[in-house]
Amino acid sequence: MRKTAALAVAFLGLVAPALAQNDTENTALIGELMAFHGSQAIVNVMTTHCYETTGLDGSYKLAAENWYLRNIGFLDLADRVITRLGGGAEGQQKAAETYGGTQIMTAYNQAGDKGSFCRAFLEQVETGALDIDRQLPAALKRAQEISAS
C-alpha cells in the first residue's frame, strides 16, 4: 500500500508540471484563436466603413462576403477547438473583435489619403492577404492538429 501511495505521489509530481504547462499553452492558443475573430472584425469594420465613405461602392461588400466564405471554416474550427480546450474567458471574443476593429480604424484615421487606404485595404481583402490561413498560419495549424486528434 505504501509503495502504491509513493508511486502515486511520484507520478503526480511528474504529471502536475506538465498539466500546468499544458494549461498555459492552451490559454495562449485560445487567445490566438480569438484573433481569428479579430481578423473578421477588421475585415467587417473596414469594408463597411470604406463602402459607406466611397459612395456605396459594392466591391467592398462583395470582398467582405468573399472573405467570409473563404474563412468561415477557420472561424468554426477556432470555435470548436476553443470549446474543446475549455472555452475562453467571458467577453474574450468580444474583446478580440473590439481590438481588431479599433486597430484598423486607428490605422485608417492616421492615413493621409483615406481613399488610397480603402483601395489598398480592398486589394488586400480581395487577394486573400488578410485570410486567416495567411495571417495566422501557426495558430491555424495547431488548431487543425488538435481537431484531428
For residue 67, what are the domain limits?
2-148
**Spatial contact of 84 and 22, defined as CB atoms under 8 Å apart:** no
Nearest to 50, CA basis, from 115, 103, 110, 113:
115
Sign of CA dihedral 60, 66, 69, 75: negative
The string of pLDDT tens digits covering residues 21-52 is 467 889 999 999 999 999 999 999 999 999 99
Number of domains observed in the structure of the chain:
1
| CA separation for the pair 149, 144 (Å, rounded) | 9
pLDDT interval class at 134 (50, 70, 90): very high
In this prediction the pTM is 0.81
Are the CB atoms for 61 and 125 separated by under 8 Å?
A: no
Q: What is the pLDDT of residues 41-90, one digit of tens each?
A: 999 999 999 999 999 999 999 999 999 999 999 999 999 999 999 999 89
DSSP secondary structure letters along 26-88: HHHHHHHHHHHHHHHHHHHHHHHHHHHHTTS-HHHHHHHHHHHHHHHHHHHHHHHHHHHTT-P
